[in-house]
Amino acid sequence: MKPQLWKIPESSISKKDIEKRNEELHLRLAEIIKRYKAVKFATSLAAEDMVITHAIARSGVSIQLFTLNTGRLHEQTKAMIAKVKEHYQIDIEELHPSARDVESYIGQFGLNGFYESEDAKKACCGIRKVNVLHLALTKADAWITGQRKEQAVTRAELEFFEDDLERGIGKFNPLFDWSEKEVWSYLSHLEVPIHPLHRQGYPSIGCEPCSRAVKEGEDVRAGRWWWLQQESKECGLHVQESQT
């Protein structure tokens, strides 16, 4: 008998309460724009990021969206990028890793060397994600993420604002105090497009070889880098919190 996979939570929060959350989210985005001029949002096209994408598009705030096209994305993610652009009539800049760095990594570790050691995994994430993010934010005053406190133990102390000391810019987590139920109720009530892999048991989506569906009852990030220990479930993009 096949194990039951994670399923998208049913909408359990009233539309009225979600509309209040939506108004609050719009106010948070407006506050960010008031404090900083050049603001960017890094989207993975997964659930939390689609909440923010919807709010940005519908509120009309001047926030530039970009995504890290690592070269190892699911085909469904690539299709989702195009779908979101068309649905909201917005631009999402696709940023790619250095071909030279990727070639160097493959020469040292092999294409899928990240399965062999944590050092190889960190090196791959560094080349395909962290370095690319750093370049994307070189001319930004602040950036936005879809992180929530509930997502992982490494994010338990997350707040709305934090100083990105490494880059010398502001960093905002407008969904920091949202629950998983609020995220999925928002997406349902406001009819926001969602990544197709969410319907196939993927609560968290990253690169194709490093993401998989999870069983019902498992931690929502259990499918990310599943071959590593729980404390290693981060890629380095948000290193200041402690790991990710």
Residue 241 confidence (pLDDT): 39
Q: Model's pTM, two decimal places?
A: 0.91
User: Total domain count for the chain?
Assistant: 1
Q: Is residue 71 part of a domain?
A: yes
Q: Is residue 96 part of a domain?
A: yes
Order of strands across the sheet with 142-144? 92-95, 64-68, 39-42, 142-144, 169-172, 161-164
Q: Is residue 9 part of a domain?
A: no
Tens of pLDDT along 139-185?
999 999 999 998 877 788 899 999 999 999 999 999 999 999 999 99
Q: Is residue 29 part of a domain?
A: yes
**What's 94's domain CATH number?**
3.40.50.620
Q: Is residue 234 part of a domain?
A: yes
Say whether 235 is catalytic: yes
231 pLDDT exceeds 70? Answer: no
- What is the average pLDDT value for the chain, to the nearest integer? 92
Residue 242 confidence (pLDDT): 35
Residue 230 confidence (pLDDT): 58
Supply the range of the domain harboring residue 67: 15-241
Q: Is residue 3 part of a domain?
A: no
Q: Is residue 81 part of a domain?
A: yes
Strands (E), the chain: 39-42, 64-68, 92-95, 142-144, 161-164, 169-172
Q: Is residue 86 part of a domain?
A: yes
**Of 124, 125, 210, 235, catalytic:** 235
